[in-house]
Every structure is written in C-alpha cells, then in structure tokens.
C-alpha cells in the first residue's frame, strides 16, 4: 500500500480548474519527483493534499485512509509535512523557535528530535538563537526542512527546495534530501532542476497542463527523449530539430 496516493484529482482555486485528473503515489522509502513546465500544476498537486484546493473530484489517501479535503492542521497532525517553496520559515522567530513550532502538535518531549535535526544540519546548531530571517537562502531551506522533520513525518512534501539557490547550495540541498530519505522518510518533491532531481529519484512524474504525461523510474525519465527535450537542455541525439548538439548560436 502506498504511503500517499492522489487518485484522479481534479480541482483548482476558485473558478479556475488547474488539475484535470492527476494521479500519483509515493511508496514507503521512495523519493518521488514531479517535474513539468511552469503552470503544469506541480505545486498545486501538492497543495491538494493539504485541503488548500477546491477539489471537484478525486481522492487523497494516506496509508490507504481517505484524507480528501481534511483541514490543513489535521493533515499535518496525521504526519504529512510540507515545505512550501517560498515563505517556508517564520523569519521573526529564532532558528530554535522555528523548530519548536514544527513540533507544535507533539505532546511528548521533542528535545531529542531537535538534537537529531541539529546533527543533520550543523550550521543551524550554531545559529539556534539567531532570527531565521537573517540566514542565507540555503540555511533558510535547512530551517524549513528541519521544522517539517520535527514531527517525524510519515512523508515529507518539498516544493522546489533549490529555487533561487546557487549550484553549490543546490548540491547540498539534494544531499540533504537524500539524507532525510536515508533516515526512512519517503519524499515527494517538485523540482525545476530536473536532471539533478531525477538522478536521486526512485520514480518521477511529468505533469503537463494539469495532466499526467509520463510516469517512469528516475533513470527511465532521465533516458527518455521527450523528457530530455523538454527539461534537460536539448535531446541527447538531436534528430534534426533545429539547433545542433553544440548549440553554437548562428553567427
């Protein structure tokens, strides 16, 4: 049974329909990546899990139980944690307070978990008393993920964690994602840097115009010619579709 499953989700915001029957699932221990062009509904699909969308049909299942349109707070209480792309930390709170808020629904002692998070992200341990808004982009992303991990989530949803980060930090973030997954947390991630993301993914989904276009394993998608043309900067064996492999702009 899948940890998280979206079944034929149709819906959007207000009158605008963005998703037209999207289905995807994440099995235990997997890293699953959603890629697709802008406006394909990648982030929207994630928000559907948290009851942030008006759904006209479809179901969201967590460990087989129906959580469709459950209130956001309740979804989190059930162990689904979400790291939005932007505004994913509380900037006026300190790093430590951010982590405490991540543990808000926990009734037990969250200190041991907080120490594990600090072990996972050593830069945060140094800056625990600093307000999170003063950190660098990469460190903010660590706070955001650390905050989400405070609950020992059943599954972590991450929306474009590397957006706006330099290539060096990008590598670090993907490493962090792998570490988190290595600790047994399944991950569903939306990502623009398709090549890097697919290389750490077990499986991937390509969404186009709010519909599933291609579903395959990570390596399978990396080798897929259509995916290569759409997202990976030109096909490997260009079949005469204009620009040559080298891409020397006509002079």
Partner 1 sequence: MMDFINFHLMPGVILGSIYALGAIGISLTFGILRFANFAHGETMTLGAYFAFTLVQLTGWHPLAVLPFAMILTAAVALGVDRVFYKPFRAAPAIMVVIASFGMMLMIRSVIQFSWGVQLKSLVPGIQRPYILFDALRISPKHMLIVGSALGLMLAVHLLLSRTKIGKAMRAMSDSPELARLTGIDTEMVIRATWVLGAGLAAAAGVFLAIDTHVETMMGFKLLLPVFAAAILGGIGRPYGAMAGGLIIGIAEELSSYAWLGDGPLLAPGYKAGVAFALMIAMLIWRPSGLFRGKVF
- Residues that bind partner 1 in the complex, under the rule CB under 8 A: 50, 72-73, 76-77, 82, 84, 87-93, 97, 100-102, 104-105, 147, 151
Give the integer Cα–Cα distance in Å for 139 and 155: 22
Smallest distance from partner 1 to CB 101, Å: 5
Residue number with CB closer to partner 1 (159 or 191): 159
Residue number with CB closer to partner 1 (139 or 224): 139
Smallest distance from partner 1 to CB 172, Å: 23
With contact defined as beta carbons under 8 Å apart, do 222 and 199 qualify?
yes
Q: What crossing angle do the helices spanning 167-182 and 111-120 adopt, rounded to 10°?
A: 140
Smallest distance from partner 1 to CB 248, Å: 46
Residue number with CB closer to partner 1 (41 or 153): 153
Residue number with CB closer to partner 1 (110 or 174): 110
Name the token pair of 16: 């605008």
With contact defined as beta carbons under 8 Å apart, do 7 and 59 qualify?
yes
Give the integer Cα–Cα distance in Å for 231 and 196: 11
Smallest distance from partner 1 to CB 90, Å: 4
Give the integer Cα–Cα distance in Å for 115 and 111: 6
Residue in this structure with the two tokens 């792309």, named with its chain if needed: 85
């Amino acid at each position: 049974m899948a940890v998280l499953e979206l079944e034929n989700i149709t819906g959007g915001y207000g009158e605008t329909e963005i998703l037209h029957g999207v289905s995807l699932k994440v099995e235990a221990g997997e890293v699953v990546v959603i890629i697709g062009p802008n406006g394909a509904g990648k982030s929207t699909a994630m928000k559907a899990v948290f009851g942030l969308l008006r759904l006209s049909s479809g179901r969201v299942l967590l460990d087989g139980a129906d959580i469709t349109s459950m209130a956001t707070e309740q979804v989190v209480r059930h162990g689904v944690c979400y790291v939005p792309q932007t505004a994913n930390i509380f900037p006026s709170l300190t790093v430590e307070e951010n982590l405490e808020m991540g543990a808000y629904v926990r009734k037990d002692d969250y200190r041991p978990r907080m120490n594990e998070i600090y072990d996972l992200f050593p830069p945060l341990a140094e800056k625990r008393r600093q307000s999170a808004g003063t950190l660098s982009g990469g460190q903010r992303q660590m706070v955001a993920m650390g905050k989400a991990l405070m609950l020992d989530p059943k599954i972590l949803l991450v929306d474009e964690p590397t957006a706006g980060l330099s290539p060096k930090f990008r590598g670090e973030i993907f490493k962090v994602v792998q570490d988190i997954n290595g600790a047994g947390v399944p991950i569903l991630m939306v990502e623009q840097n398709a090549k890097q993301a697919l290389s750490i993914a077990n499986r991937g989904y390509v969404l186009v115009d709010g519909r599933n276009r291609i579903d395959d394993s990570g390596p399978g998608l990396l080798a897929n010619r259509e995916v290569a043309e759409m997202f990976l900067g030109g096909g490997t064996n260009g079949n005469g579709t204009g620009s040559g492999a080298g891409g020397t702009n006509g002079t």
